[in-house]
Amino acid sequence: MALSICLLACSNKGKSGETARPEPFKLPEIPLFITDIEGKAAYVAAHFWDHFNFSDTLGIAQLEKEKQLLLPNYFSTFGYIDRTLVNKSITETLEKAEVEETGTLYAYFLKCYKDFLYDPNSPFRNEDFYITVLNYALASEKTDFATRERSKFELNRAMKNRVGDIANNLTYTLLSGKTGTLHSIQSPYTLLMFYNPDCHTCEETIGALKSSRIITRGLNERKLTVVAFYPDEDLAIWEKHLSDIPAEWINGYDKERVAENKELYDLRAIPTLYLLDAQKRVLLKDAPAIVIEEYLHGIFAQ
C-alpha cells in the first residue's frame, strides 16, 4: 500500500460571533534530510498528532469531518515501520488522549483505532496492532465498563489462531456423509477458507482462487490442499452451490456447528482465509487471496 503523506488546505475563517472552531489540523512536515520511505513513515507515525490539542474535544469535529482524508495518512505509515514503533505510536497517542478530563477524546480515539485496524472492510486492518489497542483499553482507568467488556471479548477472539499458533482443529462433513479433520490432512500447505456460497464476496474469492496459477500449481504438485469450509446451517444453499467448488478441493460443512458455537475461529467477515503449514501452524491469518498467492509464489517458484 502506498504511503500517502499529503498536505490538506484547511480554513478556519468565520464570521464574528460564531461558535469557536478548532484550529485546522496540521500534518507533520517531514525534514528534508529524511529521504527513505521507512524513515518518512516513522517520522509521521511519531509526530502525526504533534499539533493536535488533546485537552479539547473541539478537535473531534475537525477529525470526524475529514476523517477519511486525514487518518489514512497516519495509518498508512504502519505498513512501513517496525512493530515496536507502531505500538509506541498507538500507546503514546492514547496516553495523550487520556488527558482530556471527560474521557470523550479518549473514547473517540479508541473508536478510530477500531474503525481502521479492526473493521473487516478497512484496508488498514491489522489484528496485531489492534491487540495493542485492546490491551491498553483493558489497563486504562479511563475505559468505561461497556468498552472494557467489549475489549475483553474482542481480545479473546483476536488471540485465537494467531500467526505462529497451531490452528484449532475442525471436523468437516462431505456431501457423502464422510468426515475428516483439518489436522489429519497430509499436505505441505493447507488453505482453509470459511465461506458462504450465497455470498458475493465469497464468489469473487472462489473465482480468484480457481483462476490462480500458483494455487493450481500447488494443487497439481500436491504441495497444497484447499479446504472450503461452510460453517452455517442452511445445507440447501450449500448443496445448491456444490458445483462452484472445484472437485480437487475439500468441500465440507460444519455438521455440529462447532466452529461458531465454540468460537474456534473469529468469523466476523466471510470469506475468511487461513494459510497453514504441514503442522497446521498459521502462516497467514484472515488474509486476502492476493496476499496468499504472493506468499505461495515465493515458495513454489523456488
Summarised one tens digit per residue, pLDDT across range 38-68 is 999 999 999 999 999 998 898 898 888 888 8
Evaluate whether 53 touches 23 at the Cβ level (below 8 Å): yes
What's the rounded Cα separation, in Å, for the pair 224 and 9? Answer: 51
Q: Binning pLDDT at 50, 70 and 90, where does residue 13 land? A: very low
CA distance 53 to 72: 19
pTM of structure: 0.82
The pLDDT value recorded for residue 12 is 36
Phi, psi torsion values for 215, nearest 5 degrees? -65, -45
pLDDT digits (tens, 9 = 90+) for 275-293: 999 999 999 999 999 999 9
34 CB burial (10 A radius; 0-12, 13-18, 19+): middle
In which band, very low, low, confident or very high, does the pLDDT at 1 lie, cut at 50, 70 and 90?
very low
Q: Is the peptide bond before 188 cis (omega within 30 degrees of 0)?
A: no
